[in-house]
Structure 1
Amino acid sequence: MAHRVVVFGGSGSLGRSLITLFNKNNWEVTSIGTRANDEATHNIVVSNDESLEVQGKKVIQDTSSLLNGEKYDAILCVAGGFCMGNLAKEDFLETADLMLKKILNPSLIASKLSTVNLKEDGFLMLTGVADLQSTPGYIGYGIAKAAVHHLFNSIASKGRGLPKNTKFMAILPATIDTSNNRKAMPDADFSQWIPLDLLTRRIFEYTNGTLSVPQGKMVQITTKNGDTNFVEL
């Protein structure tokens, strides 16, 4: 029987890397996001012009149709984005709204989807950010990530509404070494960035059970001088 996984943000750098690895290991992958991923078994494309409610209903309906009575083994949300912007920027409200749509909304939909189409004993993973403090130069991004952290902390509390024995965790990565990040920050010290392949492999190992899921924990991921650490908070 095929293993099934949902990857929210399947067209982003981490999402693409995950889908490639799941494909190599014969998982059936559903990619959800604003763009399709040609490597995925199935794609559900949503628009940021649609409301959270409309997107969520579409995702639930489309995944239910694809599953035909089956359930997912895992739902992974690695959707994200980044925009600079302090209060003085003319487009501050626009970029803040975009960050909520790109970061918080997929996390909310992924969490809700897990109550409908995730197996008992399945795996849910959300993505926050390492060492979150005040973000005066990119306020919208910080607010969206803080909201994901709050969402996860609520999921980790009683009365969460998840299927029986759901395994769940959040990763909190610092900067990931991707081609897009290198283009955006060409003068940065890449030895302080998380290797994409290493992070991809770790998430896959959590998902397939090779590594035990740190149940209900946030795992902060940082790299210093080429050495990457995973610390449960």
Structure 2
Amino acid sequence: MSKNILVFGGSGALGAEIVNFFTTKGWSTVAIDFRANTVANKSIVITNSGETEMVRVATELNATKFDSIICAAGGWTGGSITSEDYFKSVQKMLDMNLSSAIGTAYLSGKLLSPGGLVVFTGANSALVPTPGMIGYGVSKVATHQIVKSLAQADSGLPANSLSIGILPVILDTPSNRAGMPDSNFDNWTPVSDVASKLFEWSSDSTTRPANGSLVTIETKNKATTFTLV
């Protein structure tokens, strides 16, 4: 029987790679994003991550239970408390990062199978103060809190399911390369490495970190490590 995965942010650099990787492994894939993913078995286009759209998605998928649900949506922008666009930058990060995590949590409560896995994308940089990127730091710390909260017995997730957070240092994506063209890309994590690890966790429950774990993902000289925080 085919296994099912739902990828929130399934048309972004990380999400599209996850969809592609799982599809090639024979999983049935569903992508949710602001634009369609033509590789996924089913692609649902949303206009925002708010209640109305999330209820619509849950209703449309209500006949399907997912073995894994991954939140790969998000983005980055800087901004300190003295920035001219301070409020705009904070709201942008709340919309891109936190709202997608909140939506994923909601869908997990409705659609995750017992014993399933839900993974949220946090950030290693949010483990310490982020004065130059307040909105980003706040949105990612809140995402880490969601991971921990869903790991509790009374979270509303189905029995024996796990909530895990991945905390990349920096992913090798086209937008990151465009923003930092002079960086050493050997120290950036290929999105394929992340997709492969998520496939491992999804396929074999014995390889998963403990419920509520935050896992830093770091690459040095093209070698990627996954380390429990």
TM-score bucket (shorter structure): over 0.9
SS at 2:113's partner residue? strand
Displacement of 1:202: 0.9
- Summarize the Cα distance change of 1:86–1:143 in structure 2 as closer, same or farther, 3 Å threshold: same
SS at 2:117's partner residue? strand
Aligned to 2:58: 60
Q: Distance in 2 between matches of 1:3 and 1:212?
A: 17
Q: Distance in 1 between matches of 2:162 and 2:125?
A: 24
Q: Distance in 1 between matches of 2:3 and 2:99?
A: 26
Give the count of matched residue pairs. 227
Q: Distance in 1 between matches of 2:10 and 2:201?
A: 18
Aligned to 2:38: 38
Displacement of 1:117: 1.3
- Partner deviation per Cα, 1:15-49 (whole Å, 9 max, x = no partner): 1111111111121111112121111111222223x
SS at 2:227's partner residue? strand
Amino acid paired to 1:39: V
Displacement of 1:195: 2.1
- Partner deviation per Cα, 1:70-99 (whole Å, 9 max, x = no partner): 311111111111112222333221221121
Is 1:168 the counterpart of 2:166? The answer is no
Displacement of 1:142: 0.9
**Aligned Cα RMSD in Å?**
1.7
Amino acid paired to 1:209: D
- Summarize the Cα distance change of 1:94–1:62 in structure 2 as closer, same or farther, 3 Å threshold: farther
Is 1:144 the counterpart of 2:117? The answer is no
Aligned to 1:102: 96
SS at 1:119's partner residue? strand
- Partner deviation per Cα, 1:116-144 (whole Å, 9 max, x = no partner): 11111111111111142221222111110
Alignment counterpart, residue 130 of structure 1, candidates 124, 128, 146: 124
- Name stretches of at least 5 consecutive residues in structure 1 with no aligned partner: none
Q: Distance in 2 between matches of 1:174 and 1:55?
A: 31
The TM-score normalised by the length of structure 1 is: 0.91
Amino acid paired to 2:136: Y
Percentage of pairs with the same residue: 35
Aligned to 1:72: 66
Cα pair 1:172 1:218 within 8 Å, conserved: yes
Q: Distance in 2 between matches of 1:151 and 1:121?
A: 18
Displacement of 1:211: 5.9
The TM-score normalised by the length of structure 2 is: 0.92
- Summarize the Cα distance change of 1:70–1:53 in structure 2 as closer, same or farther, 3 Å threshold: closer
Q: Distance in 1 between matches of 2:43 and 2:64?
A: 17
